[in-house]
Amino acid sequence: MQEREKTEEEKREKLPESVWQKTMAAALVAALLGLCALGFALPLRPHYSDAEKRALRTLPVMRIEGLWSGQYFRDLTSWFSDSFPFRERLLDYGAKLMGLYGLKGEAVYISGEQEREEIPSAAAELAPTMALSGNADAAENAAETAVESEAELFETDAEGNLLLPKAADTDIAVSGEKAGNIYVADSRAYELFYFSQKNVTAYASMLNTVKSLLPEVKVYDMIVPNSYGVQLDPAVQAKLASSGMDTAIDFTYSLMHPDIHRISVFSALSMHRDEYIYFHTDHHWTQLGAYYAYVEFCREKGISPHALSEFQKAEYDGFYGTFYFSTNRAEALRQNPDRIEAWIPMGTNDMRYRNKDGAELQGHVVNDGSAMLAGNRYNTFLLGDNPYTEIENPNIQDGSSILLVKESYGNAFAPFLVDHYQHVYVVDYRYYGGKLTDFIREHQVGEVLFLNNIMALGQKTSGEMLALFG
């Protein structure tokens, strides 16, 4: 009798626990079903990330070949994770949650294996010129076949939106960017550099070819080191098994024809390494860094640079750049936002430009960054990477002109050219579709400046530039 009463009592004691377990299980199942329903709620799915400056993955079209190869299901998985409803808020919460684990000190974000090549001290001979035979087919083909050997670059379109790489296996993190190898320490990020002799030889060969096509034009080249080479301790660089950036630039210049004016800016930037010359959360230099490079350009050209105090200055806080989004919004970077410092040209701040749709528009050389999204504020300069921009200084009437052939590093540099030339033409070689040889002769352009950051030196990018001169 006592045993029966004891059993009944134990059942009564276990009943609340059993009910609680069932209730929790039911709540968990309901939450999971709710998340699944939310995930497939197409009207709630975002199509564009304002923070990351890019279009999100779209629902893939079902095709027999995709089903057979499995590509359809990989694309479906990427779409599901990349455009999940309320993804911006969820990513922010996730970054803050990771931050609760405490300071990590340093971290390396790897996107692919890189081989470290030894850098020769000097070239035994100049890089060869290429025979284009009146067209750019060879250059375009070279660009297409060199994609696989190219280092990972931060690619943007004309509005500064980050572009996703197209690959067969799209195993991409939720934030969507695929960047180079990134090292994060002391609340700032650096992109690792690995030397490739094939890439720098292709770049020097492109310049030698352009100079041979335009013997009457003064050709300048400026290779800009990134923050990794200038500001990170060389001992840390050695630990990360990266390549020496200053030696790589010197070797690249040794491949170029002596008639090309090579503007070395590594030493000048290194002298100011403790100043705000590179962003913490973005792969670009600041305009202060571009100013020190401009001083070196003036030295090579034989003219006097303007002092920063002569320009009107504007500042815009709260900028988060490519590194921040490429590291899935690393908490260390979130706590260290950047600011845009901009110096407005004296002669004029007006420009004409052609966007990617071919529309001719009016704009400003330096724009109001406060009206831009936090991830877009580098577009303060030239309104981003447009195919073609033209600036005419009404205070100069001597017919002087320069063509700047650049990627996005050139945007912060271009404003300093305005007060030295009547005409400043800016071409982003990634989007421009015309023939620059004809353009230079039609507009009687006397000088051409190629400005590229060191990560953009490669066979593909060199082929793209050379194709414009065919």
pLDDT means per 10 residues in the chain (470 residues)? 54 59 71 58 58 63 71 66 57 54 53 72 86 52 41 50 41 32 92 94 97 97 98 90 92 98 98 98 98 99 98 97 88 93 99 95 97 92 97 98 98 99 98 96 98 96 94
Q: How far apart are alpha carbons 57 and 82 in whole angstroms?
A: 6
Q: What pLDDT sits at residue 64?
A: 78
Q: Supply 412's token pair.
A: 């912060």
**339 forms bridges with which residues in the sheet?**
317
Q: How far apart are alpha carbons 57 and 78 in whole angstroms?
A: 7
Task: Give backbone dihedrals phi and psi of 264, rounded to 5 degrees, phi first.
Answer: -85, 120
Decide: 256 and 207 in contact? Cβ < 8 Å.
yes
Q: Please name which of 338, 304, 299 lies closest in space to residue 321, comparing C-alpha atoms.
A: 338
240-245 contacts, C-beta under 8 A, 24 or more apart: 240/108, 240/183, 240/192, 241/116, 242/116, 242/192, 242/193, 242/194, 243/116, 243/117, 243/119, 243/193, 243/194, 243/195, 244/119, 244/195, 245/193, 245/454
> From the DSSP assignment, how many helices (H) and strands (E) are in the chain?
16, 15
Q: What end-to-end distance do the CA atoms of the chain give, in Å?
A: 103
Q: What pLDDT sits at residue 139?
A: 44
Q: Supply 272's token pair.
A: 């100011």
399: left (phi over 0), alpha (psi -120 to 50) or beta: left
Number of CB atoms found within 10 A of residue 451's CB: 25
Q: How far apart are alpha carbons 183 and 285 in whole angstroms?
A: 17
Q: Supply 118's token pair.
A: 């030894």
Q: What pLDDT sits at residue 416?
A: 99
Could you tell me whether strands 182-185 and 338-344 are parallel, antiparallel, or unpaired per DSSP bridges?
unpaired
**352 forms bridges with which residues in the sheet?**
362, 390
Q: Given CA atoms 140, 145, 150, 155 in this order, what sign does their dihedral have?
A: positive
Q: What pLDDT sits at residue 219?
A: 99
* Class of residue 295 by CB neighbours under 10 A (exposed 0-12, middle 13-18, buried 19+): middle
Cβ partners under 8 Å of residue 126, min gap 6: 204, 208, 255, 256, 257
Decide: 88 and 373 in contact? Cβ < 8 Å.
no
Strands (E), 50-121: 54-55, 106-109
